[in-house]
Amino acid sequence: MKGFAYRRVKNDIRDAADLADLLRMGRLPEAWIAPPQVRELRELVRYRAKLVALRSGLKSQVHAVPAKAGVPIPASDLFGIDGRARLKQTAPAGPYAQRVASLLKLIDGLDAEETLFNGRIAERLRDHTGYRAIQQLPASPPQSRSRSRSHPDDAAARSTPVHRRRYGHCSR
């Protein structure tokens, strides 16, 4: 429709006439519509991504509740067996405990749904060579992945007096 940008009158009737003219001249570009299998796979992957995003938000809330109550929990993974045990031992009482319990139930439900969708996606892609190749890559533990994002000198930089002062790690 770039060729019709010069028109002063733009309305549905003129647009329809111009589209009909393009069609008659064989100049109407075709749109590619993915086959049903591809559209269905995309829908599964999109929904799985939504589930993961929801779960991440809930996990952030779980981390925030003890911090809000002034109860630090020194665990990198609050959602593993050890982390949940620590969370249970040190969880604040009252509405904070109720909120954490509710959030953990929701996280467990989302974990189950994600597992279900992972299986459905894997089933559809089991014959896809690219998917199989990615599945063969060794998985790294979460600790080493997070460490690999930072530069080795970052730890030294964080231990400088300026950094400690800036972020409240030492008194002035």
Q: Residue 20: give the domain boundaries.
A: 1-31
**Residues lower than pLDDT 50 in the chain:** 142-172
Confidence (pLDDT) at 90: 80
pLDDT tens readout for residues 47-94: 999 999 999 999 999 988 888 888 877 767 888 888 888 888 887 788
CA distance 62 to 100: 6
Among 105, 127, 149, the domain-final residue is 127
CA distance 40 to 115: 18
Tell me, yes or no, whether 5 lies in a domain: yes
Mapped onto helix, strand or coil, the DSSP state of residue 51 is helix
Q: Torsions phi, psi of 29, nearest 5?
A: -70, 145
- The answer, as to whether pTM is greater than 0.75, is no
Domain count, the chain: 2
Where helices occur in 69-126 by DSSP H, the ranges are 81-90, 95-125
Is there a single domain that holds both residue 6 and residue 90? no
Q: Over the chain, what is the mean pLDDT?
A: 80
Tell me, yes or no, whether 159 lies in a domain: no
Is there a single domain that holds both residue 40 and residue 104? yes
CA distance 34 to 152: 45
Tell me, yes or no, whether 24 lies in a domain: yes
Is there a single domain that holds both residue 20 and residue 38? no
Is there a single domain that holds both residue 48 and residue 105? yes
Confidence (pLDDT) at 3: 60
Confidence (pLDDT) at 144: 41
Among 111, 127, 143, the domain-final residue is 127
Confidence (pLDDT) at 66: 85
Handedness of CA 135, 140, 145, 148 (dihedral sign): negative
Confidence (pLDDT) at 67: 84
